[in-house]
Amino acid sequence: MVYINGQYFGIHNIREKQDAEYTEYYHSIDPDSLDYIENNAEIKEGNDIAYQQLVAMLTAGVQSDASFAALDAIADTRNFTDFIISQIFVANTSWGHNISLVRNQSPTGRWRWLLHDYDRGFNVDNANGTAMDWATSLTGPEYSNPPWATIFLRKMLENAAFKERFITRFADHLFITFNPVTINQRVDLHAQWIRPEMPNQIARWLGTTSSYGDAIPSIAFWENEVAKLKQFGVLRNTFMFDDLSPFFGLAGSSSLRLEVSDAAHGFIRLHDMKVPSYPWSGKYIQSRPFTLTAEAKPGFNFVRWEKSNNILNTVLPAGSTWRFSDAATAPPANWNQPSFNDAAWASGAAQLGYGDNDEATILSFGGNSSNKTPSYYFRTTFDVVDPTALSGLQARLLVDDGAVVYLNGHEIWRINLPALAIGNFIRHPCTQLSLRHR
């Protein structure tokens, strides 16, 4: 929080300036021996001689392992891999004019890329775009993905060995670093830090505007923006597997679940990444080799691996019949509870909706096209003989524009809706589904 002469100015983001002192502290580069380049060969410190050599080497091609080894000797290609994967995953559309790389001017100095300015990433409206084609484009605009920025990944991917390493590294990050669980925990942590102060922040700047956007109008608006960050993580993780598969000719993705007998006794690494907690679940590229390492903590010994090939059983197939309410008024507050009697509700097969001409059951929008029914409510049941035999539940949902899903009366998922208690009637298009297993 910032006060100037006793006047409250709200929450401010303090960041370290990336300069010669920054690189000296974090990368142990003497300021007098620093080359620091931004964007398209803009010299911030030192000179661009080594940078132009780097670009010339890429332009000439690094398809052979010998030429790629020469590239890796002057540029940390593993560092670049992590850098560009992060830019792609967050869909940072302003990446092209926010590139920074540094090196020590010594004979063994290697270029390393700095993370910088991701504020146009994590846009839930862009969760299904700005991916591999964007990162390798030859015709992107200067502000986003110009060819002088994409040359690094484009040329490196021409080397077969690097391409395989890139795919594996991306899959590792999607399973751990950019797993929705990881993202949700990080978003929750940062939101928790500032949530108590948000009422004061909102009151201080309410009604103000700027070229970068208007002030936050309410707590509900802010909570919705927090929820969108989580929604992006879920949608983007799924989309990236869908994008990587055709781009590289992969076999799609599969679910992967890792467990240990006792987390106090040891842990698992996926290549060099430590699995954060257990059980840990996510997606990984189908039919792609990977290496797991078990590491015992002091006083314990690793005993053995056990493998379980879980079989996916469909408990609620597409086209299932649902009870639904498309009335102009909301149902009772306990509509999502197992005990609720929905006998008076209509029923129909999915898809349920209107307007796309592909619905199996047409819903009413209320008769007034200028004031349509904002929320629809759906209920169904499915049978599970032995719930203890299930390792998880995977849900797929086609929705416009948002939805909340309840299982046995408990919320389990929401998409494109604020992270707040849902009231009796939501005044924007959404779907609420209640599932009950018997």
Residue 311 confidence (pLDDT):
66
| Residue 344 domain flag | yes
| Residue 83 domain flag | yes
| Residue 244 domain flag | no
Residues 340 and 301 reside in one and the same domain = no
Residue 270 confidence (pLDDT):
98
Res. 315 pLDDT band, cuts 50 70 90? confident
| Residue 212 domain flag | no
Using the 3D structure, point to which of 127, 150, 170 is the last residue of a domain.
170
Res. 435 pLDDT band, cuts 50 70 90? low
| Residue 147 domain flag | yes
Residues 265 and 134 reside in one and the same domain = no
Question: Quick one: average pLDDT of 5-18?
Answer: 94
Residues 274 and 336 reside in one and the same domain = no
Residues 302 and 378 reside in one and the same domain = no
% of the chain with per-residue pLDDT over 70: 94
Residues 21 and 162 reside in one and the same domain = yes
Write out pLDDT tens, residues 347-376.
999 999 988 888 899 999 888 888 888 899
Residue 287 has pLDDT above 90, yes or no: yes
Residue 438 confidence (pLDDT):
54
Residues 41 and 161 reside in one and the same domain = yes
| Residue 219 domain flag | no
Residues 282 and 403 reside in one and the same domain = no
% of the chain with per-residue pLDDT over 90: 76
Residue 415 confidence (pLDDT):
78
Using the 3D structure, point to which of 170, 200, 223 is the last residue of a domain.
170
Residue 281 has pLDDT above 50, yes or no: yes
Question: Quick one: average pLDDT of 270-290?
Answer: 95
| Residue 405 domain flag | yes
Residue 430 confidence (pLDDT):
55
Measuring CA to CA, which residue among 129, 98, 101 is closest to residue 113? 101
Give me the chain's average pLDDT, please: 91
Write out pLDDT tens, residues 33-85.
999 999 999 999 999 999 999 999 999 999 999 999 999 999 999 999 999 99
Question: Quick one: average pLDDT of 198-214?
Answer: 94
Residue 427 has pLDDT above 50, yes or no: no
Res. 436 pLDDT band, cuts 50 70 90? low
Residues 33 and 163 reside in one and the same domain = yes
Query: Which residue has better confidence, 423 or 6?
Result: 6
Residue 437 confidence (pLDDT):
56
Residues 38 and 81 reside in one and the same domain = yes
Q: Which domain holds residue 394?
A: 321-437
Strand order in the sheet with 292-296: 273-274, 266-270, 292-296
| Residue 68 domain flag | yes
**Total domains in the fold of the chain:** 3
Assign 3-class secondary structure to the chain: CEEECCEEEECCCCCCCCCHHHHHHHHCCCHHHEEEEECCCEEEECCCHHHHHHHHHHHHCCCCHHHHHHHHHHECHHHHHHHHHHHHHHCCCCHHHCCEEEEECCCCCCEEEECCCCCCCCCHHHCCCCCHHHHCCCCCCCCCCCHHHHHHHHHHCCCHHHHHHHHHHHHHHHHCCCCHHHHHHHHHHHHHHHHHHHHHHHHHHCCCCCCCCCCCCCHHHHHHHHHHHHHHHHHHHHHHHHHHHHHHCCCCEEEEEECCCCCCCEEEEECCEECCCCCEEEEEECCCCCCEEEEECCCCCCCCCCCCCCCCCCCCCCCCEEEEECCCCCCCCCCCCCCCCCCCCEEEECCEECCCCCCCEECCCCCCCCCCCCEEEEEEEECCCCHHHCCCCCCCCCCCCCEEEEECCEEEEEECCCCCCCCCCCCCCEEEEEEEEC
